[in-house]
A and B are shown apart, each in its own frame.
Chain A
Amino acid sequence: MNIAIIKYNAGNIRSVAFALERLGLSHSTTDDPEEIQYADKVIFPGVGEARSTMEYLRYKKLDKVIVTLKQPVLGICLGMQLLCQHSEENNTPCLGLFDETVKKFTPSSSYKVPHTGWNSLVSVNDWIDPSCLNQFFYFVHSYYVPVNPFTSATTEYTIPFSAAMKKNNFYAVQFHPEKSAETGEKILMSFLTSSL
């Protein structure tokens, strides 16, 4: 199988590559549109700031490539947020595959922002295996995607939000499966090795 990790100016691309290596899956990290288009599965990772990342994607014309992909695509963290319509982070128009606005968490005395650390999935459906219910995953983000008809898992932090989503061939997780120990590896494997 041919796995492409989209290479752009975001952080944690190496972390995703290392996670695939630990799982024994070969992959390429690339910003070449053709290579991305011909891959069997595509991972769109991301840690960073929405506006500068979208600007970079447009500059590299990767925005057009991503929205037209037909094979299974997995957005991770910022990757998931950028698949949405719009982000409150610096008022950024995003790729528009999910018709949602990415919102900022409101900090309070009991809720620090960024939401940082291991939190559990309180509901799971669709492509997220039932065994992941109540399991812990590593999150680090200040913005979230509200619960919507395409939500496949929820986590609670100030309010319930989308921990995972799916619409057509676009899959997304807010947590970092590549940094979530064995539970995260299970999610990566289910995306990468099943015949989705």
Chain B
Amino acid sequence: MLTRRIIPCLDIKDGRTVKGVNFVQLRDAGDPVELAATYANQGADELVFLDISATTENRKTLTELVKKVAARINIPFTVGGGISSIKDVTPLLEAGADKVSLNSSAVKNPELIDELAKEFGSQFVVLALDARKIDNQWIIHTHGGRYATEKKLFSWAKDVQNRGAGEILFTSMDHDGTQSGFAIDPLQKLNQLLSIPVIASGGAGHPVHFADAFLTGKADAALAASVFHFGEIRIPELKLFLKTNQIPVRL
């Protein structure tokens, strides 16, 4: 039986893991390679690395980091942040990344999704949708949440699926870092609307939140950062909890 996935996310800035609240107020959370290895040993199903500095001078640092992670980790991992063309993707792929995650660049140039899916296959392309509720509408934001766009979450999600995205990483910016639970309603709606997997992100604070994301939100995977980095939730216990709640997990 296909299991639900637990995915620790490492936000990377200048080669270190950081974590903020509502996308700001960054705290240092350690060496990404060591953290990644720990999570893999604890039974994480995948890892996501998001380069949140993503400036040109940091690209080399990121590629080096990807290589170190790939050499060490025996589970799949996704790399995102600052990818704006096929030419940004090749070094990451060669360094050992299994998937890439796009956000701002895909909003600016949706054709990029088609191109990447055609070149590398849909399974390689994850679309990160960062959204915040404004006037009762879920609005897509870019550049680490700094800019609101014209795009609405549900129509954009459908569009990226049609263009060949293989997976959606939906982050509710309103919930991110608050530890008050995932945004269940939009998650449920995305899962009804889409035929590709959806990863829930933003708001994990308690094992019950994960169970809600899977049972009520129908998410295929759930992603979190701080609760894992700061040891508030340990992956083995989280998975046991989910299993006792009849959610299929890999133990």
Q: Which of B70, B118, B166 contacts A14 (CB 8 A)?
A: B70
A117 to B94 CA separation, bound complex (whole angstroms)? 22
Considering the complex, give the chain B residue whose CB is closest to the CB of A46. Answer: B121
Query: A47 near B120 (CB under 8 angstroms)?
Result: yes
Q: Is the CB of B71 within 8 A of A114?
A: no
Q: In the complex where A49-B121, A140-B76, A140-B123 touch, is A113 in contact with B195 (Cβ < 8 A)?
A: yes
- Taken residue by residue from 227 to 247, chain B's Cβ proximity to chain A (1 for < 8 Å, 0 otherwise) reads as 000000000000000000000
Stretch at the interface among B1-9, B12-20, B149-157: B1-9
Please tell me if the beta carbons of B40 and A181 are within 8 angstroms of each other in the complex: yes
B45 interface hit (Cβ, 8 Å)? yes
A118, CB-defined interface residue at 8 Å: yes
Cα–Cα distance between A192 and B124 once the two chains are bound (Å)? 27
CA distance A2 to B1 in the complex (A): 37
Chain B contacts for A139, CB-based, 8 A: 2
- Scan B93-130; emit 1 where CB is below 8 A from any A CB, else 0: 11110100000000000000000011111111000000
A139 to B2, CA, bound (A): 9
Which residue from B71, B74, B94, B195 sits with its C-beta under 8 Å from A107?
Answer: B195
Q: Report whether A116 and B167 are in contact in the complex, using a CB–CB cutoff of 8 Å.
A: yes
The reply on A142 being an interface residue by CB < 8 A is: yes
Q: Residue A138 at the B interface, CB < 8 A?
A: yes
Tell me which of B1, B96, B118 contacts A49 (CB under 8 A): B118
A117 and B70 form a contact (CB under 8 A): no
Interface string of B49-87 (1 = CB under 8 A from A): 000000000000000000000111011100000000000
Residue of B nearest to A155 (CB): B2
Q: Is B11 an interface residue (CB 8 A)?
A: no
Are A138 and B76 closer than 8 Å at their CB atoms?
yes
Q: In the complex, which of the residues A47, A142, A184 contacts B74, with contact meaning CB atoms closer than 8 Å? A: A184
User: Which residues on the A side are within 8 Å of B2 (C-beta)?
Assistant: 115, 117-119, 139, 157
Q: Does residue B136 face the partner (Cβ distance < 8 Å to A)? A: no
CA distance A19 to B75 in the complex (A): 10
Chain B's closest residue to A89 (CB) is B121
Q: Which residues of A contact B198 (CB under 8 A)?
A: 112
B250 A15 Cβ-Cβ under 8 A: no
Cα distance, A190 to B227, chains bound together (Å) = 38
| Contact across chains for A181 and B74 when beta carbons are under 8 A apart | yes
In the assembled complex, A191 has its CB within 8 A of some CB on chain B: no
B197 located at the interface, meaning its Cβ lies under 8 Å from any Cβ of chain A in the complex: yes
Bound together, the chains give a CA A180 to CA B45 distance in angstroms of 9
- Is there a chain B Cβ closer than 8 Å to A182's Cβ? yes
- What is the CB-to-nearest-CB distance from B67 to chain A, in angstroms, rounded to a whole number? 8
A and B contact pairs by CB, cutoff 8 A, 5 listed: A14-B94, A15-B98, A49-B117, A140-B76, A179-B74
A residues lining the B interface (CB < 8 Å): 11-12, 14-15, 18-19, 21-22, 47-49, 52, 78, 107-109, 112-120, 136, 138-142, 156-157, 176, 178-182, 184-185
What 5 additional pairs, Cβ within 8 angstroms, besides A119-B2, A120-B1?
Answer: A112-B220, A116-B220, A138-B75, A140-B123, A140-B166
